Structure 1
Amino acid sequence: MPNYFSLILTSLRTQKGFTQIEMSKKLGLARQTYQDYESGKREPRYTTIIKCAHLLEVSPSLFFRTTPQDSINERLRHLSNEKLIQEVNRRLISVLPATN
């Protein structure tokens, strides 16, 4: 079943006019391995993603899904952690004896 990576890879390859066989040869992969990447049956190693990006003249980050929601969720996690730390500090201060 196709996944985000496989859809992007297939789209970029066809835009560049490469066949699957050409891509597999350029990447030093078996034809079936490359076909499995495009069909979503296999996930490539990071080094293979870098090679694909280089051949297709794109940034490797293009192969990774990031959405505005991902950024929002990360910021919310960060804020939650900050609030948790502030609350822990407040409680610690309230139970520790004053040092005067």
Structure 2
Amino acid sequence: MNKTLAEVRTESGYTQEEMSKALGIGISTYNQYETGARNIPVDKVKRISNILNIEEKDFFVPLKFTLSKIKKDE
């Protein structure tokens, strides 16, 4: 069964405030990580994984890519 970040955090006994302090970010930023309103940077994924004792590979981290137009050689 898949669990949300909020569920894992709660089961591990941490509050959002404790997590935000451990990560060095604002509580509103951490809340946005949990709600999906903000992507979690890779360095924060590593830290969260360590704090909550979960594997980094268990995170689903959506990545946004911006592709620029590439001119082909003529």
Query: Under TM normalisation by the shorter chain, which class is it?
Result: 0.7 to 0.9
List aligned pairs for 1:16-95, cutoff 5 A.
16-64=12-60
Mapped partners of 1:20, 1:64: distance in 2: 19
CA RMSD of aligned residues (A): 1.8
TM-score normalised over the length of structure 2: 0.73
Mapped partners of 1:17, 1:37: distance in 2: 18
Mapped partners of 2:11, 2:57: distance in 1: 18
Deviation at 1:58, TM superposition (A): 1.0
C-alpha contact (below 8 Å) 1:8/1:63 kept by paired residues? no
TM-score normalised over the length of structure 1: 0.55
Select the structure of larger CA radius of gyration. 1
Match of 2:7 in 1: 11
For structure 1, the 5+ residue unaligned runs are: 66-100
Structure number with higher relative contact order (C-alpha < 8 Å, ≥ 6 residues apart): 1
Mapped partners of 2:11, 2:26: distance in 1: 22
Percent of residue pairs identical: 35
Match of 1:77 in 2: none
Matching residue's letter, 1:17: G
Matching residue's letter, 1:41: A
Deviation at 1:64, TM superposition (A): 2.7
C-alpha contact (below 8 Å) 1:21/1:31 kept by paired residues? yes
Mapped partners of 1:63, 1:11: distance in 2: 13
